[in-house]
Structure 1
């Protein structure tokens, strides 16, 4: 078997590293960050992802770090409850987990199978019909049989191997910033949603400590997605004058050492591979506003590893044909999800709240 370089040690990258190594490939993972991030809202592991994590032997570890969320409370302008929607009880085949914990569990499973290179990234790719010559920012150049980008929305592999980001990434006009409280949430089983038109603050109990998400509609140019100080200024400006607990939450955000910030976007490429270079996870098909992206990333990584091991010459095509069938329905619902989560107008917000009151799980 040939050696494979994976760029990105997140959900898709660590899952892919585990399964490629188990299928006999020599695997190296390069990750820009110096270690695992601690930020990010809870995400779901369910559907096609569950058989994958079960086969990896990590389900019990994941169950140890699930959140305790049972309800979603919608709050009005004065902070009073408008509606409470009970979440369907988990049936053993779906888990809600803080993203940082999910990444850690998957990384711990993969690190015994693959080599990891932190604090580095890819800066050059020279593919030919037999492999890819890779230039790193810090490490010496190396040649690999395959290179796979699992490096997220702003993928370096996609940019170097497929073209500029603007050709494939379609922003939805919604931005997300998340950070942790540093202390337990006031309501350990309830997600609190506080909206005004075009803006949402979500307080999530997570597990050991609560988290806050600022989700808002805005047209923002010139964002540097590695400039945390800029991210904090953007959020502070977007939420200026908002009531309830927002001023105190903004203060917490300003003091936070780890903040996730990005635009909610849809990634749409005509093909997820070129020669011996391929993409997986958000780098190939960013789709989700509600945490489903992690399940798709896990399922896609396993599909890619299985297809590549079975037939290296045609594996990328087989992976894409199977996994696109999972991704496309999710991409088509992004606008509807956004309309429900962050209504643009007061009328839209009123309609969303009326729908919530009539929801089958409303309590």
Structure 2
């Protein structure tokens, strides 16, 4: 498949990490790419996301962004677990929360977007409202833009994927609630990276550059995902009566400009493709706070685009290979419930969690297992399928 033909078209829904990463590869392999994103711009801020091991580094290197990602790297210092009086009772090693390379999510999104902004079309402030597959493509209806047809449509729009809902069925059929919620809020009350736990709820201060972080146990809640004030009220109710610095954190919620609340969930689709439509990133194999989401997104985008290149655009064959490769690799996202680790529901569970972090004999084998999962894929080199004239097609430099 020539990287210069540009006669195949792809629509990607979502401009966080997986979407722009996939856009990068598809453009390199000759597709005319459009990315639609409901937000008005690339979203800044957010928690640090991380990469682990040679597999992740290899994909970043092949994208030409490894140095940029390392330059944006956030410090992965040890955090501490404290009691209600602020006394340190355990340590959270930086390698647990930061991986090998940790970078603020907004910075990573900006880096990848900059590599695709001049070569791919971005439709910000818009969303897909309907998909109709035909014999030759997919007819797409947007909320604002005119109706258009694409050869392929890919959902990279997160755990609450609109594409998955339209093509694979209701969210309730594919997203499992794991018994917890989490929230991020730019409430700064001083202090360093400290975490405090009570049965069923955890609160943490991330230092001067990181948002406050909350995890609490709860049955499914009913709320408007676009009503931030309502969500802040729910969070305050969940932490009412809490000790440590919780009253100060709650007092700062009304003025928090950046705020996000969502359930801790796991996506459970059996296949990541249907007809001409595919899913990548959290839309396909998301597991909230599971520690592998960004790595899975980067690898999944690389594999999906590479298989389309290898199959010379024959999506049926490419999608089958993508399903097989990523189903095995994404298994790590199917067995984690971060809520249980971060907010145990009993005091005994909290004590056991603290001991895990502070005991090298327990923590070191755990991290080795995590690293092995990050490497557990046969990562093909798709450059061999490019025509010679396309091998040296440079990525846009900044």
TM-score (normalizing by structure 1): 0.91
Match 2:176 to one of 152, 170, 174: 170
Structure 1 stretch 4-13 or stretch 345-354: which is displaced more?
Answer: 345-354
Label 1:246 to 1:322 Cα distance change in 2 as closer, same or farther (>3 A): same
Post-superposition shift, 1:4?
A: 0.2
The 3-state SS of whatever aligns with 2:15 is coil
**SS of the counterpart of 1:126?**
strand
Q: Which of 40, 49, 63 in structure 1 is aligned with 2:70?
A: 63
Instruction: Work out whether 1:331 is the aligned partner of 2:334.
Output: yes
CA shift in 2, pair 1:182/1:338, >3 Å: closer
2:105 equivalent to 1:99? yes
Provide the residue aligned with 2:294 in structure 1: 294
Q: Give secondary structure in 1 for the equivalent of 2:360.
A: coil
Structure-2 change in CA distance of 1:57 and 1:180 (3 Å)? farther
State the 1:169 CA deviation.
0.5
Q: Matches of residues 151-230 of structure 1 in structure 2 within 5 Å?
A: 151-181=157-187, 186-187=191-192, 191-205=193-207, 209-230=209-230
Residues 347-362 of structure 1 correspond to what in structure 2 (within 5 A)?
A: 347-360=348-361
Distance 1:66 1:233 in 2: 34
Q: 1:109 aligns with which of 110, 115, 122?
A: 115
Partners of 1:303 and 1:319 within 8 A in 2 = yes
Give 1:288 shift. 4.1
Which aligned pairs between 1:68-79 and structure 2 lie closer than 5 A?
A: 68-79=75-86
Would you say the 8 A contact 2:138–2:151 is kept in 1?
yes
How far is the alpha carbon of 1:144 from its aligned partner? 0.3
Q: TM-score, normalised by structure 2?
A: 0.84
Give the 3-state SS of the residue equivalent to 1:44 in structure 2. Answer: strand
Q: 1:290 to 1:96 in 2, by over 3 A?
A: farther
Equivalence for 2:247: 247
- Alpha carbons 1:88, 1:361 under 8 Å: kept: no
- The unaligned stretches of length 5 or more in structure 2 are 1-6, 364-398
* TM-align CA RMSD: 2.1
**Higher relative contact order, chain-length normalized (CA < 8 Å, sep 6+):** 1
CA distance in 2, matches of 1:90, 1:117: 34
Whole-angstrom distance in 1 between the partners of 2:75 and 2:63: 24
SS at match of 1:329: helix
For the residue of structure 1 that corresponds to 2:115, the secondary structure is helix
Give the secondary-structure state (helix, strand or coil) at the position aligned to 1:5.
Answer: strand
Rounded Cα–Cα distance in structure 2 between residues aligned with 1:98 and 1:246: 24
Alignment coverage as a number of residue pairs: 353
**Alignment gaps of 5+ in structure 1:** none
1:174-226, CA deviations, whole angstroms, 9 ceiling, x for partnerless residues?
1111123469x633xxx321111111112224xx7232111111113322222
Q: What is the 5 A alignment of 1:300-319?
A: 300-311=300-311, 312-313=313-314, 314-319=317-322
Provide the rounded CA distance (Å) in 2 between the counterparts of 1:157 and 1:121.
10
